[in-house]
A and B are shown apart, each in its own frame.
Chain A
Amino acid sequence: QSVLTQPPSASATPGQRVTISCAGSRSNIGSNPVNWYQQLPGAAPKLLIYSNHQRPSGVHDRFSASKLGTSASLAISELQSEDEADYYCAAWDDSLGGFYVFGSGTTVTVL
């Protein structure tokens, strides 16, 4: 059972917007930056968002993220077929001596 809770799935038609939530606690999201990863089918994960809302070079501005308290969210606007993937939120957790924790993952389907 993951420490960070995400909905198992999300879907929308091309061109629409989809939002993924990530619920944590004071020891992880409440205390540390949130990062988001995209994993295309059969591929290694890729950094999508770092430090709550920063996009690495090369990541389209259709991807945006925010954090409030112990929760975070990722939004994908103008959804495209190539956005079909698994998305994971993640953060450092200060409890139990410290460890990195991933969300349970959300599969985005483009209808």
Chain B
Amino acid sequence: ELKVEQNPLFLSMQEGKNYTIYCNYSTTSDRLYWYRQDPGKSLESLFVLLSNGAVKQEGRLMASLDTKARLSTLHITAAVHDLSATYFCAVDAFYGGSQGNLIFGKGTKLSVKP
């Protein structure tokens, strides 16, 4: 059974600082997704990572994927308050069973303070 673990689950950081969120998964997968959720809102797709070594950047966020280590990271550079949200990673469970099934981590609640 595919399991996805994120850490930390809660992150409070100051504006201007850098930090990394980690996403580990337990079985082989070739695609990983990062989503953002604001309080009371829907999930917004941030990145789709499709292969080992994939790196994608959007503004102050950069995501990478290491399929051999079964690890993805979401790096935040010079955080600003607008980045405050909950960030989820999700792994395609195709190799573990159901095609198209995404297994989500528990989410990292990020709070950026002035």
Do A and B bind?
no
